[in-house]
Structure 1
Amino acid sequence: MKLLQALFFPPEQPGGVSSMIPYLQDRFHSSRWDMEMFWLPKRIRNKGQEEPVFHTFDWKEFEQSPIVLKYIQTYVDYIWWIRLRLQKPYDLIHAHHPIAGLAMKTVFPDTPLIQTIHSSYERELILNGRIEENGLEHRFLISLYRELEYVSQKLITVSRSFANYLSSYVELPESIAIIPNGFDEKRFKPVPHENKIPQLITVCRLVPAKGLDVLLKACAELKRQGYDYVLHIIGDGPSRQELEDMAKDLGIYQETIFYGYTLHPEEFMPFFDIFVLPSRAEAFGSVFAEAALSCLALVGSNVGGIAEQIEDGVNGLLVPPEDYVALSEALEKVISDPQYRYELARSAWDTAKNRYSLTKSVNELKKLYLKYQP
C-alpha cells in the first residue's frame, strides 16, 4: 500500500506532528507498506497562481483580511509545489494540516484522504491577540473544518476535548475519530538523578497562548515564599523579550534561564525534575507526554488535552488557567516534597507508556488505512 504523509511544516519543526510522524516510517517499513512524507519548504513563497475552489463556502467573503489572503496564497503555493514534485499515484493520503489536506485533494481528487486536525489555529490567533473572535479571520478558519469534512474520507483529531470543539463546525461530529499522538519510547531515557535545587522546565513556543506570564508570576510567588528553584524555558517566539523583561521586573531573572529554540529537548529533559506549562488552550499537549516519558512530575492547566492526560493528584497536578496563585501552590507541593514528586513522576511515566506509545498509534492507523486499501 502506497501511503503519503502530507505535512505542512518540515518534520524537524517543534510540535505534536513532529513528535510522531517522522517516526512512523520505521514502523511501516515492510513489503506491505510504502510510506513517504511531503511538506512545503519555507522557501516556497508566492509561486501558486491557481484559483482556489471551496465546496462548502465562498472564501471571497473574507478576502478583505490580509491574514486570510496570506493563508490562501500559502494554500495555492502548496498546490503548485505538489504539481511540481509529485507525479506518481498513492493509494492513500494522510494529511496533518488543513492546507496540506485541501491541497492534496485538489491535485489528487480520486485518492482517499484521511485528515488529522492537530490543533486550532484560530484559537491560537485569538489568544495571541492576532485576530478577533467572530471576525473575518475567525469565521474563515472555522469554515475550513466543514470543507475538510467534505473532501476527506475520515477526520481524526488528537483528544476528546478537541473533537468536542470541532463538533460545532462539522455535520457529522460522531464520525470524528480520536487517535492521540504516539511517542517512540526509545527516544526517552529517564535518568536517575538528584538535584539539590529543584529544576523546573517548560518547552513551548513563546506566545501568549502558552500562559508563561502566569508561570512567571507563580515563580515570583514561590521566591517570595522562600523556595529555591531554577526555571528553564526552552523555546522561542514573539513574546520572548516581553517575558524576559517580565522576569526582571518580578525579580526572578537570576532564577530563570531562556534557552531559545532547541531541536531535541527530550535528550536532556530527563535531568530536570518538574515540567510545568499553564497553557490557555491545548488540543493535546504533546510536550506533557514527552515530559512524562522522561519521568518528570507534571503540572499543567486544566484545559483541553492537558486535562485528558493528567489525573489531578495521581500522575500530575492540574490548576485553573490564569490562576498564578493556584499554580504557585501546586509547584510548592512538588518542590517541597521530593517523594511526592517522584510518585507523581512515576505514575506519569506509567500512564504515558500505556496510553501514548507509538506502537499503539501505529496499530490504530494501520487498521484505519487498511479500510481504504484498493
Structure 2
Amino acid sequence: MEILQALFFPPEQPGGVSSMVPYMQDRFNKVGWPTDLFSLPKRIRGKGTEEVRLHTFDPEPYRDNPIAAKYLQTLSDYLWWTKMRIKRNYDLIHAHHPVAALVMKQVFPDTPLVVTIHSSYERELILNGKIEEGGPEHRFLASIYRELEHAADRLLTVSDSFRRYMAPYVDDAEAIGVIANGFDERRFKPISHENEVTQLITVCRLVPAKGIDILLRACAELKDKGHPFVLHIIGDGPIRKELETLATELGLYDDIIFYGYMLHPEEFMPFFDVFVLPSRAEAFGSVFAEAALCWLALVGTDVGGIGEQIEEGVNGLLVPPDDAAALAAALERLITDQTFRYQLARAAWDKAKKAYSLTRVISQLKQVYLEAAPGAAES
C-alpha cells in the first residue's frame, strides 16, 4: 500500500502531530508500505485562486469576515500547491489537518481518505481572546467538522474527550474513531539525576490557552511559602513579553528561565523533575506523554485529553483550570515529597510506554487503512 501523509505545518515544526508523523513514515516504510509526507511551506501564501468546493454549508455569508476569508484563502493556497507538486496517485491519503483533508478530497476524489482531527482551531481562538464563542468565526470554523465528516472515508481524533467536543457539529459522532498519539520511545532517554533544588519545566506555545499566567501565580505562592524551585519555560509566542513582565511583577525574576523556541525539547527534559502545564483546553496534550517518557512527574489540568492521560494520584496530579491555589498545592506536594514524586514519575513512564507507543499507533492505523482501502494489496 502506498500512502500519503498530508500535514499542514512542515514536519520540522514542534508539536505532537509534526513530531509524530515523520516517525510514522519511517515505520511504514520499514514494513513495506511506501509513505510520503506533504505540507504547505510557510512562504506559500496568497497564491491560490481556485476555490475548494464545500458541500455541507455555504461559505459565502462568511467571506467578509477576516478569519473566515483567511481560512478560505489558505484552502486555495493548499489546493494550488497540491496540484503543482503532486503528480502521482496513492492507494490512501491520511490527512492530519482540515485544510489538507478538504483539498486532498477535491484533488483525489477517488482515493480513500482518512482524516485525523488533532485539535480545535476555533476553541484555541476563543481561549486566546481572538474570537467570541457563538460569533460568525466560531460558526464558520465549527461547520468544518461536518464538512470533514462528509469528505472522509474514516474520521479519527485523538481522545474520547475531543470526540465528545465534536459531537454537536457532526451527524454521527459514534462513527469517529479514537487513536491517541504515539511516540517513538527511542527518542526519549531518561537520565538518573538528583537536583538539589526542584526543577520544574513546561513546554508550550506562549498563548493564553496554555495557562502560563496561572502557573506563574502558583509559583509566586510557592515562593511566598519558602519552597525553593526553578521554573524552565520552553516555547515562544505572542504573550511572551506579557508573561516576562508578570514574572517580574510577582518577584520571580530569579526563579524562572524563558528559553524561547526549541526544536527537540525531549532532549532537554530528562534533566528536570516535574512537568507542569495548566492548559485551559487540550485535545490530547502530546507533551504530557513526552514528559512521561522522560521520567518526569506530571501536573496538569483536568481538561480534554490530559485527564485521559493522568490518573489523579497514580501517575500524576490533576487540578482544575484557572486555579492557581490548587496548582500551587499540587506543586508543593511534589517539591516536599521526593518519594511520591518518584512514584508518580515511574507510573507515568510505565503507562506512556504501554499506551502511547508508536508501535501501537502503527498497528491501529494499519487496520484502519486496510478497512478504508480494501483493494490495496498488503505487502
Q: For residues 269 and 31 of structure 1, what CA distance do their matches in structure 2 show?
A: 31
Structure 2 length as normaliser, TM-score?
0.98
| Aligned counterpart, 1:246 | 246
Deviation at 1:31, TM superposition (A): 6.7
CA contact (8 A) 1:275 1:299 kept: yes
- SS of aligned partner of 1:115: strand
Matched residue SS, 1:29: helix
Deviation at 1:80, TM superposition (A): 0.2
Partner residue of 2:17?
17
Change beyond 3 A, Cα 1:137–1:222: same
SS in 1 for 2:41: coil
Q: Deviations over 1:171-201 (max 9, x none)?
A: 1111000000000000001000000000000
Q: State the alpha-carbon separation in 2 of the partners of residues 32 and 15 from structure 1.
A: 27
Partner of 1:144: 144
AA matched with 1:159:
S
Q: Distance in 1 between matches of 2:233 and 2:64?
A: 38
Whether the 8 Å CA contact 2:5–2:93 is kept in 1: the answer is: yes
Could you say which residue in structure 1 is the equivalent of 2:5? Answer: 5
Aligned length: 374
Q: Which amino acid aligns with 1:261?
A: Y
**Which residue is 1:314 aligned to?**
314
Does residue 29 (structure 1) correspond to residue 29 (structure 2)? The answer is yes
- Native 8 Å contact 1:116 1:156 kept in 2: yes
Cα RMSD, aligned residues only: 0.8
Say whether residues 1:158 and 2:158 are aligned partners: yes
In structure 1, what residue type is equivalent to 2:14? P
The equivalent of 2:323 in structure 1 is 323
Partners of 1:75 and 1:99 within 8 A in 2: yes
The answer on whether the counterparts of 2:52 and 2:103 sit within 8 Å (CA) in structure 1 is: no
Q: Deviations over 1:41-79 (max 9, x none)?
A: 001011100023110000011112111111111110000
1:87 partner letter? K
Shift of 1:107: 0.7
CA shift for structure 1 position 19: 2.9
Partner AA of 2:320 in structure 1: P
Cα pair 1:91 1:373 within 8 Å, conserved? no
Return the letter of the residue paired with 1:162: F
The question of whether the paired residues in 1 share the 8 Å contact of 2:51 and 2:75 is answered with no
Provide the rounded CA distance (Å) in 2 between the counterparts of 1:25 and 1:74: 25
Deviations 1:266-295 (A, max 9, x none): 001000000000000000000000000000
Instruction: Tell whether the 8 Å contact from 2:52 to 2:79 is kept in structure 1 after alignment.
Output: no
The residue type equivalent to 1:124 in the other structure is: E
Report the equivalent of 1:264: 264
Counterpart in the other structure of 1:191: 191
Cα distance in 1 for residues equivalent to 2:169 and 2:192: 47
Moved over 3 A (4+): none
Matches of 1:233 and 1:349 in 2, distance apart? 22
Q: How far did 1:30 drift? A: 4.2
Question: Which sections of structure 1, spanning at least 5 residues, go unmatched?
Answer: none
Alpha-carbon distance between aligned partners in 1 of 2:66 and 2:165, rounded to the nearest angstrom:
26
**Paired residue for 2:203?**
203
Overall identity of the aligned pairs, in %? 66
Deviations 1:90-109 (A, max 9, x none): 11000000000001111111
Is residue 202 of structure 2 the alignment partner of residue 222 of structure 1? no
Secondary structure of 2:226's aligned partner: coil
Tell me the SS of whatever aligns to 2:143.
helix
* Structure 2 alignment gaps of length 5 or more: none
Tell whether 2:39 aligns with 1:39. Answer: yes
* Correspondence 1:330-341 to 2 at 5 A: 330-341=330-341
In structure 2, distance between residues paired with 1:106 and 1:80: 12
Matching of residue 280 in structure 1 with residue 277 in structure 2 = no
SS in 2 for 1:253: coil
What residue in structure 2 maps to residue 298 of structure 1? 298
- Which amino acid is 1:360 matched to? R
Aligned match of 1:92:
92
Structure 2 residue matching 1:217: 3-state secondary structure: helix
Residue 83 (structure 1) aligns with: 83
* AA in 2 matched with 1:231: L
Query: TM-score w.r.t. structure 1 length?
Result: 0.99
The reply to whether residue 103 of structure 1 matches residue 103 of structure 2 is yes
Q: Secondary structure at the match of 1:68?
A: helix
